């Protein structure tokens, strides 16, 4: 149960955090995907459902990061 809750929130928050640090949502997404790939290769993600939840959280985090950067640059 804990893995599913973390998979639901953590990837999206990481994308937003990395975007805030780098001011680039692509870099934030790439860094987060690299961290998730490392966790999958170490065996911490052990089911397809966790991977799907991670991907959904990444998508929401990426969308929010794009909105945040656009607002910061004055485009939104």
Residues of the chain with pLDDT under 70: 75-76
pLDDT at 73: 85
What pLDDT is attached to residue 76?
52
Listed as own residue / partner, the contacts of 5-13 with beta carbons closer than 8 Å and 24 or more positions apart are: 7/45, 7/50, 7/53, 7/54, 7/57, 8/53, 8/56, 8/57, 9/57, 10/57, 11/36, 11/54, 11/57, 11/58, 11/61, 12/57, 12/58, 12/60, 12/61, 12/64, 13/61
pLDDT of residue 19: 94
Residue 57: per-residue pLDDT: 96
Note the pLDDT of residue 1.
Answer: 87
């Amino acid at each position: 149960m804990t893995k599913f809750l973390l998979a639901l929130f953590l990837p999206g928050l990481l994308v937003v955090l990395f975007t805030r640090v780098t001011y680039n949502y692509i870099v934030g997404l790439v860094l987060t995907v690299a961290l998730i790939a490392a966790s999958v290769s170490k065996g911490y993600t052990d089911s397809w459902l966790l991977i799907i939840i991670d991907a959904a959280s990444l998508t929401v985090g990426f969308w929010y990061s794009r909105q945040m950067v656009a607002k910061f640059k004055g485009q939104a």
